[in-house]
Amino acid sequence: MTADRSRLPDLGPERPFTFPEIRRATLDNGLRVWTVEHRQVPLIAVLALVPVGSASDPARQPGLAAITGDMLDEGCGDRSALEVHEALGRIGAQLDLDVGHDATVLGLTTLERYLDRGLELLRDMLERPRFEQREFDRVRDLRLNRLLQLKDLPPALADRAFTQLLYRNHPYGHLPIGSEGSLRGMMIRDIMSFHRRAFAPVRTTVIAVGDGSHEALSAAVRRAFQGWTGDGSEPIADPDAFAPPAAPPARLALVHRAGAAQSELRIGQVALARRTPDYHAALVANMVLGGQFVSRINMNLREEKGYTYGARTAFEFRRAPGPFVLHASVQSDATADALREALGEIGAIRGDRPVTREELELGRASLTRGYPRNFETADQIARAAAQLALYELPDDYFTTFVPKVLALTEADVTAVAAKHLDPSRLLSVIVGDREKLSTPLRSLNLGDIADVSGGS
Amino acid sequence: MNISFSKHTLPNGLDVLIHEDHSLPIVAVNLWYHVGSKNEVPGRTGFAHLFEHLMFEGSQHYDRGYFHPLQEAGAALNGSTNADRTNYWEVVPTNALDLALWMESDRMGYLLPALTEAKFSNQRDVVLNERRQNYENRPYGLAGMAIVDALYPPEHPYHWLTIGGADDLRAAHIDEVRAFFQRYYHPANASLALAGDVDPRRGVQLAESYFAEIPGGVRPEPVRVTPPGPPPSDLRLVLEDRVELPRLYLAWHSPPLFAEGDAELDLVAEVLSSGKTSRLYRALVYEQRIATEVAASQNSRELGSFFQIVATAAPGRTLAEVERAVSKELIRLIERGPTTDELDRCLAQAEAHFLFRLQTVGGFGGKSDQLNAYNTFLGDPGYFEQDLKRYRSATPSLLREAAERYLKPSRRVMLSVVPRGRVALALGDSRPVAVS
């Protein structure tokens, strides 16, 4: 028997998928407890979300939120730094700390039978970090060394320059790791003060997902966290309240890297906040432009021209408007051509090549049909739930996602792209060899090329 | 810990492994070909991986790129090549299983009629850019090449990295694609795993209906190599790179994947560098603060593995200091072995990581990938429990013996990667290496 190869097989009927139920409770101290049952593997993922990130760094202390987060597991409660990690290792726990622009997220995945021990450690990290001078000095040195090493990493240089030029003095205008000068000037009391203001039960959501009933998960979180006190009444910078940044000082900036084997590119502009009503249409617009392999920009730069191993775009949705950004690393002698093509693609969607019916359907289908894949592991589910908590999205967000995307038309998607992507406002940052690039880049007529140093 | 599965072998030699898990309406399709860069020859390195790229460029009955219909159906997909094998996977909604199998079988059976010079030269450019991005333009990106270059003699198939040499890639010719395809890309050299929302009987029927028509081919002879001798005693090499901090690489030959000593060395690596209480992290980064990071790993492969320790010096510290501190810890481990407490912690971590990998049906490292790994390398897809047993049966003295036997100070390659123009930061008497 041979298969019918005259055409692709039809898709069968879709199988239903419903996002698992999130149960919500609030402890007396104000801490929110969310639980989701997910019983495939004897693991439990716990996330503690504190909606304070590097956007809340004091203006003169970029990097404070990140180093505060980094210090949480360097000794807490009755345990020294080494004892914390010994205890984590004994229960086979995986600890992840992520300090982003909007939030600090502490994640711990452990075997179900060790849940109480894992929660106790997590609680101590949040509530009772020791912040010892000796540990602080060491952690700061490690971060300074990391900053030093990032000077040789083209993607990091590009991200830094792009972020600084695009957002300038806005709270999103620096990377979470901060700068050398700021880290050197930091004192342990800065960390303590930041921790006292940011980490309070009333601000925190603990999300437990895994192999246990709602009741068991919720009771375990309650046991661990109900004694945490602190009122969270001291003010902390809130990105929602900041004015939008001024326009970048130039449209094209170059970070010189002599003899670079490739040019690292970032192209983008300030775009959308997570709570925008244009969210779903922007996701589809991004699928058309550069959000997946078969998008316009990747097909052009990689599959037609062979300039790059890959090009991707994304709207980085945050509390306040985050950037739309294109990432690519392109071969040096094709830098100007790649830039011209990418700018052309971003411009065309609001000009002579609006979103087609076929592209709309492809974008909608990729997003909606692939949706269940995002909720396979306990950690994935917990991180999805954390988005609801962080951005204060409605409870029915997951169940309305697919119908909302499917309701979009070509015109909706083109309109949202046109509204938020303006080629005359795009900032392009290149990390590459100035000697090789200046002449071809001038042919793009993007005005003066701003020279940016690679330092921190 | 057992993953239930069924195994059928089609008449053309294709192994079909099926694992049922109806938690979500998705199915993982995972296809391994038992070919990697170890099947290449000097002068033509990088070919297996370049070939993998061509598998995404369309086949006879759907010649418009591999991604489009699958992404439109809601699939995630990718592929990868290493020294020993090449894998391809899709994770699709249940209703697109037919589509994924149609697409995989079409490129297994009918790739060549759709191959063109234009596709070939485009993907060669893409791979050269991948090489620039991930090796040439990345700090320490060429160190791996220098290590395998020193560990293995030129004719040994682990002498080069899977990405291959840039000149070899430029010299690759489209005619070689045909020979490579015929030799390695056929059912008898492949293993197909389906995991997820699929009924095993239907899974086998679907596999038959799409793959049975493809002729079996001759299973390639396993690559045979003379085990490489130890590197010259006290081999010290130096590579200048665009980096801020010097970094030391120590590498030893070690037993192949699944051979005696492999799991023990995996655990030795955990004792040395997993977590802040591991011996090397604690000594070098936490207490002495002479290094900013340290990592030990047993890099397990079919024909022979290598054990590696990598440590980056803190500013103002020398690689000689770092080397002395690493060696001191290694000697202590070789003399006295780990404590029972240390081993218990490492076992807990190893078991948890084992479980973490099995949370997903597909992708890199999910259940379908693991079934194929066991089937391809051992002929036994159900090796999960035995694999875990390799770790559970380890004892402090077995770890000590493995460390003593394989991590001898006289049998290591020592590579210093230093900032350009600062060769003096390397270990003394290091010889420059040229890789690019």
Q: Is residue A325 part of a domain?
A: yes
H or E segment at B76?
strand B76-81
- pLDDT tens digit sequence for A102-115: 999 999 999 999 99
Instruction: Determine whether the interchain pair A308/B129 forms a contact, defined as Cβ–Cβ distance below 8 Å.
Output: yes
Closest residue in chain A to residue B132, using alpha carbons only = A261
Looking at residue A453, its pLDDT comes to 80
In one-letter notation, the amino acid at residue A251 is: R
Residue type, position A228, single letter: W
Q: Chain-wide mean pLDDT for chain A?
A: 95
Residues B189 and B306 reside in one and the same domain: no
Task: Give the per-residue pLDDT at A93.
Answer: 95
- pLDDT tens sequence across A377-412: 999 999 999 999 999 999 899 999 999 999 999 999
For residue A236, pLDDT over 80 is answered with yes
- Asked if residue A40 has pLDDT above 90, the reply is no
Exposure pattern of A152-176 as b/e (b: 16+ CB <10 Å)?
Answer: bbbbbbbbbbbbbbbbeebbbbbbb
| Residue A423: domain span | 252-452
Say yes or no to pLDDT of A169 above 80.
yes
The helix (run of H) or strand (run of E) holding residue B319 is helix B319-336
Task: Flag whether pLDDT at A327 surpasses 90.
Answer: yes
Q: Indicate whether A247 belongs to any domain.
A: no
* Beta-strand pair A449-452/A252-256: parallel
Model confidence at B231: pLDDT above 90: yes
In a domain, B218, yes or no: no
Q: Would residue B420 count as lying in a domain?
A: yes
At B434, is the pLDDT very low, low, confident or very high (cuts 50, 70, 90)?
Answer: confident
B124 and B203 in a single domain? The answer is yes
Q: Examine the domain organization and report whether B277 and B358 are in the same domain.
A: yes
| pLDDT band at A310; cut points 50, 70, 90 | very high
Distance from CA of B358 to the nearest CA of A (A): 8
Structure tokens of B412?
A: 């290591």
pLDDT confidence of residue A237: 81
- Number of domains making up chain A: 2
Could you report the per-residue pLDDT of B67-98, keeping only the tens digit for each?
999 999 999 999 999 999 999 999 999 999 99
A12 found inside a domain: no
Q: Which of B165, B196, B211 delimits the end of a domain?
A: B211
Q: Per the domain annotation, does B220 fall within a domain?
A: no
Q: Write the ipTM.
A: 0.94
Distance, in Å, from the CA atom of A353 to the CA atom of A377, rounded to the nearest integer, reads 39
pLDDT higher than threshold 90 for residue B279: yes
* Domain match, B288 and B350 both: yes
Answer with the one of A181, A213, A238 that is the final residue of a domain.
Answer: A238
Domain end call among B211, B246, B261: B211
Question: Does residue B161 share a domain with residue B261?
Answer: no
Q: Are residues B200 and B253 in the same domain?
A: no
Q: Are B422 and B315 in contact (CB under 8 A)?
A: no
Q: HSE-up of A173 (CA within 13 Å, CB side)?
A: 19
The mean pLDDT value for A79-86 works out to 96
Q: Do A213 and A143 fall within a single domain?
A: yes
Residues A188 and A82 in one domain: yes
Neighbours of A94 (CB within 10 A): 17
Query: Are residues B99 and A86, on separate chains, in Cβ contact within 8 Å?
Result: no
B107-128 mean pLDDT: 97
| Chain A residues lying within 8 Å of B359, measured CB to CB | 40-41, 43, 376-379
In a domain, B65, yes or no: yes
Query: Distance from A163 to chain B by nearest Cα, in Å?
Result: 21
Residue A241, pLDDT score: 81
Same domain for A290 and A376, yes or no, is yes
Structural domain includes residue A60: yes
Catalytic residues of B: 52
Mean pLDDT value across chain B:
96
Q: Which of A243-252, A447-456, B157-166 has the highest mean predicted lDDT (pLDDT)?
A: B157-166
State the pLDDT at residue A16. Answer: 86
A289 and A433 belong to one structural domain: yes
Q: What local confidence, expressed as pLDDT, does residue A201 receive?
A: 96
Alpha carbon of B184: minimum distance to chain A alpha carbons (Å) = 22
A377–B209 CB contact, under 8 Å: no
Give contacts of A 149-208 with B, CB under 8 A: 149, 151-154
A15 touching chain B per CB within 8 A: yes
* Burial category of A82 from C-beta neighbours within 10 Å (exposed 0-12, middle 13-18, buried 19 and up): middle
CATH assignment of the domain containing B410: 3.30.830.10
Judge whether A348 lies within some domain. Answer: yes
**Do B195 and B300 fall into the same domain?**
no
Give the one of A5, A142, A293 whose C-beta lies nearest to B71's C-beta.
A293
Q: Is residue A243 part of a domain?
A: no
Residue that is last in its domain, among A204, A238, A272: A238
CATH of the domain at A380: 3.30.830.10
Is there a contact between A330 and B129 if contact means CB atoms under 8 Å apart? yes
The answer to whether the CB of A99 falls within 8 A of the CB of A176 is yes
Choose from A4, A5, A132, A431 for mutation: most chain B CBs within 10 A. A5
**Among A195, A210, A238, residue at a domain's last position:** A238
Provide the sign of the torsion angle of the four alpha carbons B357, B359, B365, B369, taken in this order. Answer: positive
CA distance A141 to chain B (A): 9
Residue A455 has pLDDT above 60, yes or no: no
Cβ <8 Å between B292 and A142: yes
Query: Is residue B183 one of the residues assigned to a domain?
Result: yes
Q: Within this chain, do residues A389 and A261 fall inside the same structural domain, yes or no? A: yes
| pTM score above 0.90 | yes
- Give yes or no for A42 touching B (CB within 8 A): yes
Q: How many domains does chain B have?
A: 2
Does B223 map to a domain? no
Q: Are residues A70 and A165 in the same domain?
A: yes
Q: What percent of chain B has pLDDT over 70?
A: 100
Q: Which of B178, B211, B244 is the last residue of a domain?
A: B211
Q: Say whether both B247 and B182 belong to one domain.
A: no
d(CA B295, CA B193): 33
Is residue B119, in this structure, part of any structural domain at all?
Answer: yes
**Alpha carbon distance B368, A44 (integer Å):** 22
Q: Is residue A15 part of a domain?
A: no
Chain B contact for A372 (CB, 8 A cutoff): yes
Backbone phi and psi for residue B194, each to the nearest 5 degrees, phi listed first: -115, 130
Do A234 and A256 reside in the same domain of the chain? no
Q: A456 pLDDT band (50/70/90 cuts)?
A: low
Q: Over 70: is that where the pLDDT of A450 sits?
A: yes
* Same domain membership, residue B181 and residue B97: yes
Shortest distance between the Cα of A406 and any Cα of chain B, in A, equals 13
Check residue B234 and give its pLDDT: 87
Give the span between the Cα atoms of A330 and A432, in whole angstroms. Answer: 10
Q: What is the pLDDT of residue A454?
A: 66
Cβ contact A361–B72 (<8 Å): yes
Residues B143 and B268 in one domain: no
Same domain, A233 and A291: no
Whether residue B264 sits in one domain with residue B200? no
The predicted model gives A276-299 an average pLDDT of: 97
Q: Please report the pLDDT score of residue A1 as a whole number.
A: 65
Residues A195 and A272 in one domain: no
- pLDDT for res A360: 98
Strand B15-20 relative to strand B86-93: parallel, antiparallel, unpaired?
A: unpaired
Structure token pair of residue B256: 């192949």
| Chain B residues with CB-CB distance to A81 below 8 A | 276, 286
- Do A193 and A308 lie in a common domain? no
Choose among B103, B276, B289: nearest Cβ to A82: B276
A230 and A289 within one domain: no
Classify residue B344: in a domain, yes or no: yes
As beta bridge partners, residue A326 has A267, A313
**pLDDT tens for each residue of B292-311:** 999 999 999 999 999 999 99
A309 within domain boundaries: yes
Residue numbers of the domain that contains B139: 6-211
Q: B13 and B89 share a domain?
A: yes
If you count residue pairs, one on A and one on B, with CB atoms under 8 Å apart, how many are there?
214
Q: Any bridge partners for residue A215, and if so which?
A: none
A256 and A327 both lie in a single domain? yes
pLDDT at A221: 98
Per CB-CB distance under 8 Å, the chain B contacts of A14 are 25, 93, 95
